[in-house]
Amino acid sequence: MSHNMGKVAMLVTNACAPDPRVLRQARWLVEAGHEVTVHAFDRRQEHPPLDEVDGVTVVRHHLGQHTYGASFATLRGLRQFRQSALRACEETTPDLVVCHDADTLPLARRLRKVGIATVFDMHDLRHTWAKIGAPNRLDRRLASRWLEQRTRQGLPHADLVVTTSGALSKGGHPGLQQQVEVWGRDAQVLENRPNDGSFRSATPDDIWRVACLGRVRDLATVDLVIQAISSMPEDQRPVLRWAGDGVAAEAARQRLAESGLEVEVEGAFAHDDLDRLHDGVDVAIALYDPRRGNIADGALPVRMFEAAVRGVPSVVNADVLMGELASKEGFGAACAWNDAEALVAALHNARSLAVPDGAGRMPEAMRAGWLEAIEGLLA
């Protein structure tokens, strides 16, 4: 389809080193003939200020050392980044700005005033993260409510809202699209599925092995996994591969070391390590505390898709959208949270699944629908 070449800016409050969702979208736009610049906030100033990745320009704003986490210092840093990104947009006058995540959404109103089209890409429900670790504390509840209000105030200023999940059927488990609808807007769904060419099939071996790969934000999952595997007869226990960084990673590794189980432990890993990390894995564990963050709201963690595209089945949360989708597409066994016995059964169920060809991949129709909506704003 013919279209005008557009100038697109994307704003993201991490260092984009890499942010797979942001770069995937940016690549699609470059392939379609547009010019894309990502403005990223490198809080620790540890990456080059200017980068090019597959034809995408990445500008990293270095604004002194800033922290991650829920503190006033973080909010101050985010405000500085928004001001810096706004100046950059005013100087380069893009046709379209994509605000990734709620932290950059407050800019939509200012950008539209100067005639720039805006997209809000909601990766997750930002306000639910404020409650992690202490969901009932008053200050966390207030922070959460404030963040939600701010998202709602920004929504009318976006020309298009995109999010990462939606209900599979009317009355089915809700996705983030349904939350946006509650807030009075329609949202287009673009799930966080890997693109063809970014993975290969896992190479099997003859060891019974399960893997837990990804950010470690709390100890609930590691405790549950240790409890489940320890309850199995010793000669039937799988080897546990565990990899990832995050606030609770150190403590989790400590518990694994003391568990008496056979473990293969690694720290932080890059996207390029995922092929190797899935080799020899019979079942991936993508289980999350549903009181935490977005699982109950219908988030679809990329972890289960990364396993599925490599031919590895997952154990996923039951009674939420991720469980419904993984079961429907045949690449996952759903499991009740915090039930070691159920987890043992789910590991065996998942192990017997043959993951269908093409499972977990980005459907062409979903990618094309997203591109069409974006190009509609560039026309």
State residue 1's pLDDT score.
46
Distances (CA, A) of 144 to 149, 179, 180, 279, 304: 9, 15, 16, 40, 27
Whole-number percent of the chain with pLDDT over 90:
70
Residue 181 clears pLDDT 50, i.e. is over it: yes
Which amino acid, 338? N
Residue 290 clears pLDDT 90, i.e. is over it: no
Residue 70 clears pLDDT 50, i.e. is over it: yes
Residue 67 clears pLDDT 70, i.e. is over it: no
Which residue in 297, 299, 281 sits closest to 241, CA to CA? 281
Least confident window among 65-69, 288-292, 370-374: 65-69
Where do we find the tokens 């950008």?
111
State residue 14's pLDDT score.
86
More confident residue, 330 or 149: 330
36-50 average pLDDT score = 89
Residue 172 clears pLDDT 80, i.e. is over it: yes
State yes or no: cis peptide before 174, omega within 30 of 0: no
314-334 average pLDDT score = 97
State residue 129's pLDDT score.
54
Residue 139 clears pLDDT 80, i.e. is over it: no
Model confidence over 213-254: pLDDT tens digits? 998 988 999 999 999 999 999 999 999 999 999 889 999 999
Mean pLDDT computed over every residue of the chain: 90
State residue 127's pLDDT score.
59
Can you list the domains of the chain with their CATH numbers?
A: 7-191+362-378 (3.40.50.2000), 209-351 (3.40.50.2000)
Residue 289 clears pLDDT 70, i.e. is over it: yes
161-175 average pLDDT score = 94
Residue 311 clears pLDDT 80, i.e. is over it: yes
State residue 2's pLDDT score.
46
Residue 358 clears pLDDT 70, i.e. is over it: yes
